[in-house]
Amino acid sequence: MIKDVLKLFTPPILVQGYRALRSKKNSPAQDGLYLAGNYSSWDEALAASTGYDSEIILEKTRTALLKVKRGEAVYERDSVLFDEIQYSWPLLAGLMWAAAQSGGNLNVLDFGGSLGSTYFQNRRFLKCLPAVRWNIVEQPRWAEVGKADFEDEHLRFYGDINACLAETQPNVIVLSGVLQYLEQPFDVLHMLSATPCNYLIVDRTPFWDGPTDRLCVQHVPASIYAASYPSWIFSLHRFRSFLNESWEVVAEFEGFDRLSSPVKTTWKGIIAHRRGMPLRVSER
């Protein structure tokens, strides 16, 4: 079942990186990148989509991140290189908070984490921690490339969750820009909630105030790569209710992504810990 879920991954989404440094008032006319429609089923949304070429996206991401790894470039996001790092400070704060709660140990399960984009984004800060292990669970082909070109003593790659858990016990789940591209995102959340991880960080995820999740098709212009594919806009109320079963939310934050859509959409992040677990509190 885990492998079936992984087959549903959309590759790391170039569109979010392309858009992040632009105006918050983007429209389809401005950059050709947008969400459209209100589909009743995943199959219906797929039928209205063109799909994408995963190998092209994989090679673009690999080439860019190898430059970052070798110090030839500063920062990569969604295969696009930037002159400076644009941090998601709340995500980094969540990572450091989880490490502080775990005696300085940070062991991440980064589900759908590309070839290590979030790890490389934050490694300057992660180096100050006494113990860091970053485990990426990706599609088998992406995990294969990750192992060959990027794996080291800190960064590891796996083709499914069980393979990761067989080797290590992560304490933090990171879901950055991935849930909206899964056919059954709440099934994935349920599976991840069953892992030993005590902390959860969600980032770069679209929400709206409606009572139900809205299924759209995301369109990407040829200037990035010509493609379209299903994408959810989650009901914030429903999402919070689902998390409440296993997780206690510590903080919500607004992400830096923006995308034109048929309803008012907010890109948010969430930091949470497992419900009922004791937290360390400083006596200072």
At residue 18 the predicted structure's pLDDT band, cuts being 50, 70 and 90, is very low
Q: Give the confidence band of 270 by pLDDT, cuts at 50, 70, 90.
A: very high
Predicted confidence (pLDDT) at residue 50 exceeds the cutoff of 80 = yes
Give the HSE-up count for residue 247: Cα atoms under 13 Å, Cβ half-sphere: 27
Nearest Cα residue to 198 out of 56, 91, 101: 101
Q: What pLDDT score does 256 carry?
A: 79
Across the range 52-67, mean pLDDT stands at 86
Task: Name the CATH architecture for the domain at 2-52+89-274.
Answer: 3-Layer(aba) Sandwich (3.40)
pLDDT of residue 8: 46
Q: Does residue 60 register a pLDDT over 60?
A: yes
What pLDDT score was predicted for residue 85? 86
pLDDT at 146: 97
* In the chain, where the domains are located: 2-52+89-274
57 pLDDT above the threshold of 90: no
Residue 50 has phi, psi (to 5 degrees) of: -95, -20
